[in-house]
Amino acid sequence: MRLKRETYLEQIRPYYDSDIIKVITGVRRCGKSILLDTIRDELIEKGIPGDNIIYLNLEDMDYEYIADASDLNREIKSRITHVGKHYIFLDEIQHVKNFEKALASFRATLDVSLFVTGSNSTLLSGELATLLTGRTVEFEILPFSFYEMKQYYELNRMEWSEEMFSGYLKWGGFPLRFDYKDETSVHRYLSNLYTSIVNRDIVGKSRNADKKAFMDISLYILANAGKEFSIDNIITAYKKQQKEISKRTIYNYLERMKKAYLIHGVGRYNITGKSALSNREKHYAIDMGFRTINTNTINYEDTFFLENIIYNELITRGYTVFAGKTFKGEIDFVAVRDGKKCFIQVAYLLASEETIKREFGAYRKITDASPKFVMSLDKIDLSHDGIVHLNIIDFLLRKADLILT
């Protein structure tokens, strides 16, 4: 059965009847089309006539004749044959050249509510996007969170337990990967999906893209997700293989990974100066499965794996996330939402007094009174000195939350 992704629906529902354009983005196969189906079903449940809902999947060969904005304009206007507001769903809109012109025209001349999806973050960043400035609201969809994985298993009457966290940590939350029961099949599915994204959204028709070089660089970036990114390390690795690659090429491939939603770039936050730093970034994988197939190994004690999942969870819940920088150290995350922020440290297990002192001690010289958290897989509560300790699985399953004051 189809999972109703309430976390995202709660964010989108206030805009159902608005003339602002709802732009739903995210990596391929994360569930954007299913989310559109759910929104369409909710509109029908509200009493919207089916004839007033127009749905086009622009990756469907049936719509290959819709090549540009003029084609799209003719198609939509030919389908508006009833009175009242029409709800238009355009899936994978990036296949239509200059689609922004059509969207701007629909919004200006028709009584419509527009929903569009796309798998590339440049969807509304080109020159034509100026036509839509201030007229769009964007929602990024990620693969299933661990909480959604639990809901999906229960909805489909599949056996589920918290022990499945290790499987989620390894294989991530792409919805279709749950159709496969053995690891070989899951690995094959994710590998094919990753290759498809590279071919369609990164290499594509570009004459300047070297697929082999990109795959090598993406492997390095995903294997080192959560660590400070170093172009010099990539160049050095190439030199050891008696190869050469330029900084510009690496930056280009890095940006392509971001645009295809394979990774997120995470800027640094100067805790002492209370400001964002734009010149240094970490990167986190959009899904742990993509990290696993690119590294072929997983270390459950590597906190970068845990950081990655927590980062994705925070993004899903609507936080803006930074990596914290103090005068002489770091805090894993500074999470901001509704004008309030908190600090988060991530550990595997607080198994020794030394580890406890290190993780809690990271806050020692921070005078900012914002809430401070340490997350680990420990089952006992080790909160002290005003710093709250949370179990990671409890946090992911919404049994424990960040209390922002």
* Domain total in the chain: 2
Are 35 and 47 in the same domain?
A: yes
List the domain range (segments joined by +) for residue 191: 144-227+256-405
Q: Provide the pLDDT confidence category of residue 127 given band limits of 50, 70 and 90.
A: low
Q: pLDDT tens-digit profile of 307-326?
A: 999 999 999 999 999 998 77
Instruction: Spell out the residues 6+ positions from residue 211 whose beta carbon is closer than 8 angstroms to its own.
Output: 198, 199, 203
Rg from Cα positions in the chain: 23
Please give the residue that has the higher pLDDT: either 62 or 204.
Answer: 62
Provide the CATH number for the domain around residue 121.
3.40.50.300
**Position 234 in a domain:** no
Q: How far is it, in rounded angstroms, from Cα 212 to Cα 374?
A: 40
Is residue 400, in this structure, part of any structural domain at all? yes
Most confidently modeled of 5-19, 225-239, 295-309? 5-19
How would you class 125 by CB atoms within 10 Å of its CB: exposed for 0-12, middle for 13-18, buried for 19 or more?
Answer: exposed
Q: Specify whether 345 is located in the same domain as 303.
A: yes
Both structure tokens of 18:
């608005």
pLDDT tops 70 at residue 202: yes
Residue 1 lies in a domain: no
Element (H, E) at 298: none
> Where do the DSSP E strands lie in 108-178?
112-118, 136-140
Residue at 262 is within a domain: yes
Q: Which two tokens stand for residue 223?
A: 């294997």
Identify the bridge partners of residue 180 per DSSP, sorted by sequence position.
Answer: none
Task: Report the pLDDT value the prediction gives residue 161, as an integer from 0 to 100.
Answer: 95
Domain identity same for 178 and 135 = no
Q: For residues 94 and 216, state if they share a domain.
A: no
Q: Show which of 140, 156, 177 is a domain's final residue.
A: 140
pLDDT category of residue 206 using cuts at 50, 70 and 90? low
Beta strand 136-140 with 21-25 is parallel
CA distance 177 to 172: 9
pLDDT confidence band for 233 (50 / 70 / 90): confident
- When the pLDDT of each residue in the chain is averaged and rounded to a whole number, the result is 91
pLDDT at 330: 87
How far apart CA 36 and CA 113 sit, in angstroms, is: 13
Mean of the pLDDT values across residues 121-143?
82
Asked if residue 221 belongs to a domain, the reply is yes
274 and 364 share one domain? yes
Residues 136 and 170 in one domain: no
Of 114, 140, 166, the residue at which a domain comes to its end is: 140
Q: Does residue 251 have a pLDDT over 70?
A: yes
Q: Which two tokens stand for residue 243?
A: 């190869």
Percent of the chain with pLDDT over 90: 73
- 308 and 206 in a single domain? The answer is yes
DSSP state of 3: -
What's the pLDDT band for 272 if we cut at 50, 70, 90? low
Whether residue 351 is contained in a domain is answered as yes
Q: Is the pLDDT of residue 241 over 80?
A: yes
| Mean pLDDT on 101-114 | 95
371 occurs within a structural domain: yes
How many beta carbons lie within 10 A of that of residue 349, not counting itself? 11
Q: Say how far apart CA 249 and CA 213 lie, in whole Å.
A: 9
Same domain, 223 and 349: yes
Question: Where are the alpha helices (H) located in 126-273, listed in sequence order?
Answer: 146-155, 165-171, 183-197, 211-223, 231-240, 247-259
- In this structure, the answer to whether residues 277 and 290 fall within a common structural domain is yes
* Residue 311 shares a structural domain with residue 208: yes
Of 313, 315, 375, whose CA–CA distance to 343 is shortest? 375
Residue 327: per-residue pLDDT? 64
Domain match, 121 and 149 both: no
Residues in the chain: 405
Query: DSSP 3-state assignment of 355?
Result: helix
* Gap between the Cα atoms of 212 and 91, Å rounded: 30
| Structure confidence at residue 244 as a pLDDT band (50, 70, 90) | confident
If asked whether residues 58 and 112 sit together in one domain, one would say yes
pLDDT at 59: 92
Domain end marker among 140, 163, 190 = 140
The answer to whether residue 235 sits within a structural domain is no
